[in-house]
Structure 1
Amino acid sequence: MVVSLPVLRIPQLRDADELAHLHVAVWKSTYGERLPESCYTQQAVAERKNLWTTILSASPPRLVTAAHQEQIVGFAHAGPPFEQAPAQALELYSLYLLPRWHGSGVGRQLLDAVLGDRPAQLWVAEHNPRAHGFYRRNHFDADGATRQGALPEVRLARQHLPPKNVQDFHSA
């Protein structure tokens, strides 16, 4: 039986609730007991919905979702870094994908859709080996920067990649 892969698309304001639920669900499956239970409540979903409504209302610079049978199963979001001394001029803010789709190539499609082959940076939880492996395979390396929070994070960065045939939703 052939399972169709998700289709990438630019999200709309009406997707804010679905993005919020996905965001919290992926956090729970990824971080589980490492974060307080309050991160996974309906209140957390409501806060994420407010966040996504704000982001989608502002026409984010680079945001793509992956939808399978019209249900959002992942998203990637990128833009200019917020920090004072970034390693690169473009930052991957988030890339979340339901566990069912890990290893399917959808994560790479999302990454390519928002970053293309440009130099970029991102922050990732220090103790997230799956994510570290994924980003290493996509030419990101730790640059020595760290930050502390609910989950300690490390910054990863990559230089310009050789041109490849990627669909960049935001270069046109």
Structure 2
Amino acid sequence: MVLADCPAVAAVRVRGWQFAYEGLMPRAYLDGLSVEADTAKRREQFRAGAGRVVNLVAQRAGSVVGWGCYGPGRDAGAPAGTAELYALYVAPRHVSTGVGRALMDALLAAAGAAGHPLMQLWVVAGNARARRFYARAGFAPDGAEEPYEVAGAEVPEERWARALSAAAAAAESRG
């Protein structure tokens, strides 16, 4: 991803939220999401995360159709070196076409190559599609749950994790 991708990434993210969280978050909130406002936020976060956050885009025919990013784990008590998948969104018309799988594979490979032993992520508890996707990618719930507030509505989230190295997988199975 480069800075010039921010408007396209924002469009994927906003449309992705509206698609993925339909019925899980307040409709007025989802309808109020703005690609323009999100573009400004993506630019700010892209600049601020330089060197710490890995942002990848998926393209088809020269257009951005997916985006994912990871960086250092943010949860207190996470094992040293834990990576966290911050986001993975695919343009709705490209869902179930392999774009998400390719992005996930690239993010996992990059995190593993960078030496991270473990990757964690937070998923909305009611998001069955995302839960199936993450399970197929080798993630599983680790027991942590947290409420997330969106426009005054509580949206429960679960933390999922996956080992990225053989040593981490062995330690996780002993754990």
Instruction: Please confirm whether the aligned pair reaches a TM-score higher than 0.5, indicating the same fold.
Output: yes
User: 2: distance between equivalents of 1:38 and 1:103?
Assistant: 25
1:69 Cα deviation (Å)?
1.6
Q: Following TM superposition, where does structure 1 have runs of at least 4 consecutive aligned residues deviating by more than 4 angstroms?
A: none
Instruction: Specify which of 24, 32, 38 is matched with residue 29 of structure 2.
Output: 38
User: 2: distance between equivalents of 1:20 and 1:160?
Assistant: 28
1:99 Cα deviation (Å)?
2.7
Aligned sequence identity (%): 32
Query: Residue type matched to 1:12 in 2?
Result: V
Query: Residue type matched to 1:134 in 2?
Result: F
Match of 1:66 in 2: 58
Q: Is the 8 A contact 2:108 2:164 kept in 1?
A: no
Are positions 1:159 and 2:163 aligned together?
Answer: yes
Match of 1:49 in 2: 39
Q: Is the 8 A contact 2:24 2:127 kept in 1?
A: no
Aligned pairs (5 A) from 1:1-172 = 11-36=1-26, 37-41=28-32, 44-58=34-48, 59=50, 61-86=53-78, 89-116=82-109, 117=112, 118-149=117-148, 150=150, 151-160=155-164
1:96 Cα deviation (Å)?
0.4
Query: Residue type matched to 1:63 in 2?
Result: N
- What runs of 5+ residues in structure 2 fail to find an aligned partner? 167-175
Query: Residue type matched to 1:155 in 2?
Result: R
The 3-state SS of whatever aligns with 1:93 is strand
Q: Is the 8 A contact 1:78 1:115 kept in 2?
A: no
User: 1: distance between equivalents of 2:31 and 2:6?
Assistant: 17
1:105 Cα deviation (Å)?
2.1
User: 2: distance between equivalents of 1:23 and 1:75?
Assistant: 8
User: 1: distance between equivalents of 2:54 and 2:36?
Assistant: 23
Q: Structure 1 length normalisation: TM-score?
A: 0.78
Match of 1:170 in 2: none
Query: What is the total number of aligned residue pairs between the two structures?
Result: 151
User: 2: distance between equivalents of 1:62 and 1:73?
Assistant: 17
1:28 Cα deviation (Å)?
0.6
Query: Which has the larger share of strand?
Result: 2
- What runs of 5+ residues in structure 1 fail to find an aligned partner? 1-10, 163-172
1:161 Cα deviation (Å)?
5.1
